[in-house]
Structure 1
Amino acid sequence: MARARVTLADIAARVGVSPKTVSNVVNDSGWVGAEVREKVLVAIEELGYRPNLAARQLRRGSSGVLALALPTLAEPYFAELASVFVDVAHDRNLTVLVSQTGGDRAREVEALDGVRLPAIDGLIMSPLGLEAVDVQERRRDISLVLVGEHGERVAGDGEHHVGIDNVAAAAAATAELIAQGCRRIATIGVQDEGPTETSRDRFDGYALALRQAGLPLDEALTGHVHEFNRAEGAVAVQRLVESGAEFDGLLCFNDSLALGALYALGVRGLSVPEQVRVMGFDDIADGRYSMPPFSTVAPGREALANRVLDIIAAPDATAPGHHEVPFSLVLR
């Protein structure tokens, strides 16, 4: 037989106070003395009380639940981003439901329209297939914040987007390689098809830094990929080496590409950092324990999550558009 749900009245009876007093403690509202509050909290723990979320939603007009729609959880950056969102939301007494869209436009539209989702207070999405018209014509009127470079294009001036300045970040990463003595810096991550906003922004930053340093932009030092993963990084570096291109620095458009690049450099007998200095992007956990180590760009995941949740909490307090969060270089 299922155990009966513990109620506020049960807690009140245990402590010898009114259900209203227990409600004030549970909802952190009203005034309750420290001694009584402690007794109520002890009783809640002992009796195993759990709030009725459906009833709370009816009372408050909110669910305390957010949805986070990401292209994939197989890529470390997105998995770590989801983890940060869950933790930051928990500190605000919010729950995050994570959905994987595969970067498919139809699935992203379903998330926009709330298909297969319960009542939520807001949606955070990193889209790859979505178009601006999909956002404008969405059927569900809830707080929406977009992240990711494709998300910035889709958001335009009418929706909220939060993220770093990718051009500036890539320029800073390239400038650091130049400061360390690199003069022939190759890139890994140029994409010719699909959602290419991330690739374009980071390449633009790379080209900007070369130009500012008076270094030529050499097409022979461009590594093309289909996706940002380790296998593509390894193959791109292998092609560069086999082409005869000489390079002493490598800017990879994410850390997974950098890890694949390190593998290919090792197979070819090229030492890091003695012969080639490597810079990644995203500061994923795996990269922090790589041997040899490589530097990277930290995209400020916690700052991003906090900014997004601030917007969802008060969407009308800030004008729609791009909201920038800081990045930093992690040198190893």
Structure 2
Amino acid sequence: MTVTLREVAAAAGVSIKTVSNVINGYAHISARTREAVEKAVADLGYQPNLSARGLRSGRTGAIGLVIPDLKNPYFAELAGSVMRAASQHGLAVFVEQTGGDRAQELAVLASPRMRMADGILFSVTGLDQADAATVAFPVTTVLLGERIFGAGADHVTMKNVEAARAATEHLIELGRSRIVALGARPHEVSGSAGLRLRGYREALEAAGIPFRDELVVDATPWHRADGARAVRELLAAGTGFDAVFAFNDTLAFGAMRALGDAGLGVPRDVAIIGFDDVDEARYSMPALTSIDPGRDEIAETAVRLLAARIGGDSTEPFVLHEAAFRIVTRESTGG
């Protein structure tokens, strides 16, 4: 039998309206009342009827998360962080993948499924700044990532330039001077690769180390195989290097495999730092030093901003939030 709001209210000793307020995440509920209602919901196994709720309120209690690729560990872990944050606001999450393709990003925004969501968290990689004035969001949207700033939405991102500079400086402090920028796209400016390359260059310049074109390596699309292939090509070409700044962790994992296959030690011969601090980094052999870009902060901030816009609790101007980062030092750089 389906459990009703009336049954939950009776079990908690409160009104049906109070139960509804708790389930819908209203803030002005005492901790004692909220705890009683949540216990009754859990004990009875109550499941909200999203269709009925949507008909009454115009809201479904669900948000969309649009990301490039769940096979990328960063985005898989970001999705987990978003779901945990959303649950704190009484929101469910459904995920759409775009493959980072511009046409697919536009198709997802235009899809009827997105119009069923109360709001969208949209990690953009295909669209760019030229689309800022024309892109249309079907519902309240918070943007993630490094593209289409100023597009009429709150925007949550990471400090790519500063974090990349810190990663490169970490390698320089170890005495390394021929540092590969693995995953760079030399002609990109606004995306993750372009911003991380800028931070890399700034660190070299500050240390008085020459920038070398042969050490800037495109390894699209940032999977393990791409990192391994790029490093094997460097070794085959006889390019000398003593460190690698991989623009994401999966590239670093591929690079470490290629170096191991060549009989080179990490960090003895080549020190490696990655970017994203995915869970696998602490279990790789050797454990990977990486930049933690503030993934949980990004998820929690984006969900909070979206929930406030959806609920009508925020009429403030759109904000840009940059999450804090840190270096997590492990074995691949001698930690």
The answer to whether TM tops 0.5 is yes
Letter in 1 for 2:90: N
**Partner of residue 68, structure 1:** 65
Contact 1:157 1:322 in 2 (8 A): no
In structure 1, which of residues 317, 325, 328 is the aligned counterpart of residue 326 of structure 2? 328
Give the CA deviation at 1:327: 0.9
In structure 2, which of residues 261, 271, 286 is the aligned counterpart of residue 292 of structure 1? 286
Question: 1:292, 1:176 → 2: CA distance?
Answer: 17
Letter in 1 for 2:279: A
Residue 248 of structure 2 is aligned to residue 254 of structure 1 = yes
Secondary structure at the aligned position of 1:190 is classed as coil
Give me the CA root mean square deviation: 3.0
**1:1-150, aligned counterparts within 5 Å?**
3=1, 5-11=2-8, 19-20=16-17, 23=20, 38=36, 44-45=41-42, 47-117=44-114, 119-131=116-128, 136-138=133-135, 140-149=137-146
CA 1:287 to 1:187, structure 2 compared with 1: closer, same or farther past 3 Å? Answer: same
Larger radius of gyration: 1
In structure 2, which of residues 302, 309, 312 is the aligned counterpart of residue 308 of structure 1? 302
Contact 1:157 1:321 in 2 (8 A): no
Q: How many residues align?
A: 325
Secondary structure at the aligned position of 2:267 is classed as coil
In structure 1, which of residues 168, 178, 197 is the aligned counterpart of residue 172 of structure 2? 178
List gaps (5 residues or longer) in structure 2.
331-335
Which has the higher mean CA deviation after the structures are superposed, 277-286 or 110-119?
110-119
Contact 1:112 1:123 in 2 (8 A): no
CA 1:15 to 1:158, structure 2 compared with 1: closer, same or farther past 3 Å? Answer: closer
In structure 2, which of residues 131, 137, 160 is the aligned counterpart of residue 166 of structure 1? 160
Residue 273 of structure 2 is aligned to residue 279 of structure 1 = yes
Contact 1:162 1:324 in 2 (8 A): yes
CA 1:32 to 1:24, structure 2 compared with 1: closer, same or farther past 3 Å? Answer: farther
Give the CA deviation at 1:322: 3.1
Contact 2:109 2:138 in 1 (8 A): no
Give the CA deviation at 1:103: 1.7
Secondary structure at the aligned position of 2:113 is classed as coil
Secondary structure at the aligned position of 2:183 is classed as strand
Question: 1:14, 1:310 → 2: CA distance?
Answer: 30
Which has the higher mean CA deviation after the structures are superposed, 117-126 or 53-62?
53-62
**Partner of residue 228, structure 1:** 222
Secondary structure at the aligned position of 2:192 is classed as helix
Contact 2:229 2:258 in 1 (8 A): yes
Question: 1:73, 1:264 → 2: CA distance?
Answer: 25
Question: 1:307, 1:34 → 2: CA distance?
Answer: 26
Question: 1:88, 1:15 → 2: CA distance?
Answer: 25
Give the CA deviation at 1:134: 5.4
Give the CA deviation at 1:105: 2.2
Identity rate, percent: 41
Contact 2:184 2:197 in 1 (8 A): yes
Residue 187 of structure 2 is aligned to residue 190 of structure 1 = no
- String of CA shifts for 1:145-180, please: whole Å, max 9, x gaps: 11122x3xx133643221112111100000011111
Question: 1:314, 1:31 → 2: CA distance?
Answer: 17
Contact 1:281 1:298 in 2 (8 A): yes
Question: 2:25, 2:258 → 1: CA distance?
Answer: 56
Give the CA deviation at 1:190: 1.7
Give the CA deviation at 1:221: 1.5
Secondary structure at the aligned position of 1:116 is classed as helix
Letter in 2 for 1:124: L
Give the CA deviation at 1:128: 2.1
In structure 2, which of residues 317, 320, 323 is the aligned counterpart of residue 319 of structure 1? 317
Contact 2:24 2:90 in 1 (8 A): no
Give the CA deviation at 1:61: 4.0
Give the CA deviation at 1:112: 2.0
Give the CA deviation at 1:257: 0.4
